[in-house]
Amino acid sequence: MAVLTFELPDGSTREVDVVQVLNAGYAGRSQEDVAAHVAELAELGVPGPSVTPALYPVSPYLAQQTDRVQVQHGRTSGEAEWALVVADGGELLLTAACDHTDRNLEVHGVAWSKNAGPDVLARRAWRLADVESRVDELTLRAWVTHGGTRTEIQGGTLAELLAPAYWVDTLRSLGALTPGTVLISGTIPMAPGVDQFADGWSVELGDPATGDVIRLDYEVEPMLAPIG
């Protein structure tokens, strides 16, 4: 299993032994917009979920704090997300995350594609209780890098997604609000015309009230070609 370490604003740390990871999908606050998105994906051959929002279990070892993601081909990409992490004693942490997904595999099954790449998490976190009163004002942004050129590909606020409180209630109803659980939020729209198949990804979760920003960066590294 993965062991993640988070630094909090007061300088203290939390070590979390990950026992389960759940990736939310189709998790926009406006489910009418989600329905339109499902229809768009269906035209691209991506199978739609039976219900929305969806929740996909992911192998716990895929929760990583890393600066490098190795991929098998050139059609994988990240997604800017936030992550809810249940630490010891049930303490809830909020951090930035990037769900790296195999887009070729996605057309055969979203759950499969989610298990084909890591969920990269930042190394810093906030206590959810410290920011929950203004959670909709928190910003979520992502940039892609191509040959050293950095371009913003996603930008919005957490008001566009189902709130952490929604997922806290969902996890509690599933008996999954337990230490070692990581919930990845689902993502916001990508900017049209920006190539998502990039050399690197950066994600920022920002708090305009304090100016604090939680950030992660990683490079996308092709593996050697298979032999045989």
Q: Distance between CA atoms of 99 and 113, rounded to whole angstroms?
A: 10
- Phi, psi for 61 (deg, rounded to 5): -65, -15
Q: Which amino acid is at 160?
A: E
* Tokens 């942004």 belong to residue: 141
Q: What is the mean pLDDT of residues 211-217?
A: 98
Q: What is the mean pLDDT of residues 163-176?
A: 98
Instruction: Provide the token pair at 191.
Output: 């900017």
Average pLDDT, the chain: 93
Q: What is the mean pLDDT of residues 166-177?
A: 98
Q: How many CA atoms lie within 13 A of 212 on its CB side?
A: 14
Q: Give the SS3 label for residue 221.
A: strand
pTM (2 d.p.): 0.94
**6-35 tens-digit pLDDT:** 999 999 999 999 999 999 988 989 877 677
Segments in 137-218 forming alpha helices (H): 164-173
Q: Distance between CA atoms of 49 and 65, rounded to whole angstroms?
A: 29
**82-138 tens-digit pLDDT:** 999 999 999 999 999 999 999 888 888 888 888 989 999 999 999 999 999 999 999
